[in-house]
Amino acid sequence: MTMSKILSDKTYDVVVVGGGIVGLASAYAAFKKGLSVAVVERQSQNKDASVRNFGFVTVSGQRRGEHWQRAMHSRNIWAEIAPKAGIQVEHIGLHMLMQRPEAVDVAHAFLKTEMGEGCRLLTQSEINEAAPYLNKGEGVLYSPHELRVESNTAIAKLAHWLQETQSVDFYNHTTVTSVELPKVHTSRGVLNAEHCVVCPGADFTGLYPEVLAKTKAKICTLNMMRVMPKKAFRLNAAVMSDLSFARYDGFAQLPEATVLKTLLDDIQSAERQAGVHLIVVQSEDGSLIIGDSHDYSDRELPFRDTRIDDLIINEFKQVMDIGEIDITQHWLGVYPSADEVVFKTSPEKGVVVGAVTSGTGASTGFAFGEELIELVLESK
């Protein structure tokens, strides 16, 4: 029997564990249903995957079918609430430089699918106009759907907006230690709840470890960096390249991608082995976030391998020419990675555990949060 003081005498319809994007999206989905909601976050505010990512809300490239639809729906929610929450959309859309003819074949195949709607190949004059900083290649696939937000501040702004205007209560610096509905036990006392949604990110050893173990997820570690161009320039849309056609499920799982993947395994074997592909996005101050790599060894690497950064910088220079750059920040990030893109289950009545297991939560979190709330309401 846990003897704890009561943190609040309110009984919430839903207590959400975790203040990352999935937890905040769940809180928003619950609020929209007219439910009373609290978010419990053990840090002062999220400092994990949700702020270490690119803030790149990606639609084209997400796994075909349900997950692509999650991304499209989530993108629309980002677009709707960003202005209300004071979150600036830094740029819209995506330019994928096709460096080799094999990538053009993948782009053509993609455009023939339902995912290609609204996307197109740019003419040379459009490339000159819209993306003069791209190196010469075989063309550019344009997708209009993508949004870029500054995660580092957007997550805090989203939490603040939920608190101030959507009546969501936040308990930060508070760790949930166990759930025994109607009690949610925390490091600071008890909260009362009808339902509890657990969104622990990559922490699979805290709450419900045996349930999360069913995902067979491994910790994936990513190298990221921020660079400042020496000469001012403005990025008109996010940038990706051939390595992304070979990596993102929405392209890479098309049969036409096999030739490109085999070719890149041969000619860019170091990048392919390190899971390197290129994403470039820009911040308001002109700096660029560039990345990333994927180490699936499940090791939670404490130290950054700078040779991986060199691969990323090298790919950046193959794709874009913006003159000299200074690297101003390096960091590592982690997320759980499994064959399934998301995991959600109800281990007991009124409780749901959910995690994005594909490193796509910035893009799909709002839709996934709605699913978690649906599931928890059904579970009682």
Ligand X SMILES: Cc1cc2nc3c(=O)[nH]c(=O)nc-3n(C[C@H](O)[C@H](O)[C@H](O)COP(=O)(O)OP(=O)(O)OC[C@H]3O[C@@H](n4cnc5c(N)ncnc54)[C@H](O)[C@@H]3O)c2cc1C
Which residues of the shown chain bind ligand X in the complex (CB under 6 A)? 17-23, 40-43, 46, 48-50, 52-54, 56, 58, 175-176, 199-203, 206-207, 222, 224, 292, 333-335, 355-356, 359-363
- Tell which residue, 231, 334, 248, 244, has the closest CA to residue 288: 231
Q: Which is nearer to ligand X, 104 or 346 (CB)?
A: 346
> CB of residue 103 vs ligand X: minimum separation in angstroms?
20
Q: Which is nearer to ligand X, 70 or 100 (CB)?
A: 70
Q: Which is nearer to ligand X, 127 or 279 (CB)?
A: 279
Q: Which is nearer to ligand X, 58 or 241 (CB)?
A: 58
Alpha-carbon span 130 to 363, nearest angstrom: 24
* Contacts for 131 with CB less than 8 Å, ≥ 6 apart: 95, 122, 140, 236, 237, 239
> CB of residue 331 vs ligand X: minimum separation in angstroms?
8
Q: Are 81 and 159 in contact (CB under 8 A)?
A: no
Q: Which is nearer to ligand X, 21 or 325 (CB)?
A: 21
The dihedral built from the CA positions of residue 301, 61, 358 and 269, taken in this order, carries a sign that is negative
Q: Which is nearer to ligand X, 5 or 231 (CB)?
A: 5
Eight-state DSSP code of residue 320: B
Q: Which is nearer to ligand X, 139 or 361 (CB)?
A: 361
- Tell which residue, 29, 31, 23, 33, has the closest CA to residue 171: 23
> CB of residue 351 vs ligand X: minimum separation in angstroms?
13
> CB of residue 255 vs ligand X: minimum separation in angstroms?
25
Q: Which is nearer to ligand X, 20 or 139 (CB)?
A: 20
Alpha-carbon span 83 to 81, nearest angstrom: 6
Alpha-carbon span 270 to 258, nearest angstrom: 18
> CB of residue 175 vs ligand X: minimum separation in angstroms?
4
> CB of residue 52 vs ligand X: minimum separation in angstroms?
5
Q: Which is nearer to ligand X, 103 or 199 (CB)?
A: 199
> CB of residue 270 vs ligand X: minimum separation in angstroms?
20
Alpha-carbon span 40 to 15, nearest angstrom: 7
| Beta strand spans in the chain (E) | 6-17, 37-40, 56-57, 89-98, 120-121, 139-149, 169-171, 176-180, 183-186, 189-198, 218-229, 238-240, 279-282, 288-291, 325-348, 351-358
Q: Are 255 and 261 in contact (CB under 8 A)?
A: no
Q: Which is nearer to ligand X, 85 or 176 (CB)?
A: 176
> CB of residue 46 vs ligand X: minimum separation in angstroms?
4
- Tell which residue, 36, 41, 42, 40, has the closest CA to residue 10: 36
The β-bridge partners of 176 are: 186
- Which is it for strands 169-171 and 37-40: parallel, antiparallel or unpaired? parallel
- Tell which residue, 238, 191, 213, 212, has the closest CA to residue 37: 191
Alpha-carbon span 317 to 44, nearest angstrom: 38
> CB of residue 54 vs ligand X: minimum separation in angstroms?
4
> CB of residue 291 vs ligand X: minimum separation in angstroms?
6
Residue position matching structure tokens 């805290």: 206
